[in-house]
A = this chain, B = another copy of it.
């Protein structure tokens, strides 16, 4: 296996391969200290080079979207016909378009993916072998053959993933705008309240849960947000509208309207069995 980029996700993949499989992992990272740390703790067996790319069964691209594309461009001649290239980007339309074009040009197979796992921390130091336990592994095949999809799925299950779904880049990005991007935008907007620094002693689980992911890597998330700006803008508009409805019912002291709005929220959760 080759893993390109030993941040939270790449580092965790490396550690999971080492813990749960017999695979040898060659790792790329532009930071020498990270490479050294990954070697020292046994997460990778060697620092990757072009020979590793040429010999790899699967190459996991674990950089930011544009950096993934740039990496493949730079090393295009090293990728072989038998190699399966996949990525872990949180947004798929842009990166799938770029990598599909390069796969055609370079003659390798590309199959997009998005491991639905993470924490509010980032970097190799936050990575851990059990990050993916029970998580969902989203495949975005973009026309990759079924046997390639099956290879990636079975490899994911070996690393601890609990389920896998397949979808198109567009549907992926619409759903991720809701399930992941909106909560991150929300967390940042929430903690900007002038009340936030005074919360200690007056807060419990609700504050903790909504604010958790405000501890954001703003460089990565800005890129992810803007790569998905149509779907994300639409989701944020939906949320702003629904939240404004609740705000107006409160401001206007409209008890029946408020109770009806809150009931709708409860019913959605109940119907989902959550």
Contacts A188-B264, A240-B243 known; 11 new A-B pairs at CB < 8 A: A116-B203, A117-B204, A136-B203, A138-B201, A183-B206, A185-B243, A191-B265, A192-B242, A215-B274, A222-B259, A229-B251
- In whole angstroms, how far apart are the Cα atoms of A189 and B268 in the complex? 11
Query: A194 — which chain B residues lie within 8 A by C-beta?
Result: 238
- Chain A interface SS verdict (over half): helix
**Residues on the B chain within 8 Å of A188, using CB:** 242, 246, 261-262, 264-266
Docked Cα-Cα span, A134 to B96, in Å, equals 47
Do B265 and A192 have beta carbons less than 8 Å apart?
yes
Contact B247 A237 (CB under 8 A): yes
Q: Which of A154-208 contact B (CB under 8 A)?
A: 163-165, 167, 172, 174-180, 182-199, 201-207
Q: Is A271 in contact with chain B by the CB < 8 A criterion?
A: yes
B259 and A236 contacting across the interface, CB-CB below 8 Å: no
Contacts of A190 in B (CB 8 A): 182-183, 186, 239, 242
Q: Which residues of B contact A201 (CB under 8 A)?
A: 116, 136, 138, 163-165
- Asked if A204 meets B135 with Cβ closer than 8 Å, knowing A215-B266, A266-B214, the reply is yes
A window 76-103: CB within 8 A of B? none
Establish whether residues B218 and A266, one from each chain, have CB atoms under 8 Å apart when the complex forms.
yes
Q: Decide if A229 touches B207 in the complex (CB within 8 Å).
A: no
The 4 lowest CB-CB distance pairs between A and B, nearest first, are A188-B265, A165-B201, A218-B262, A183-B206
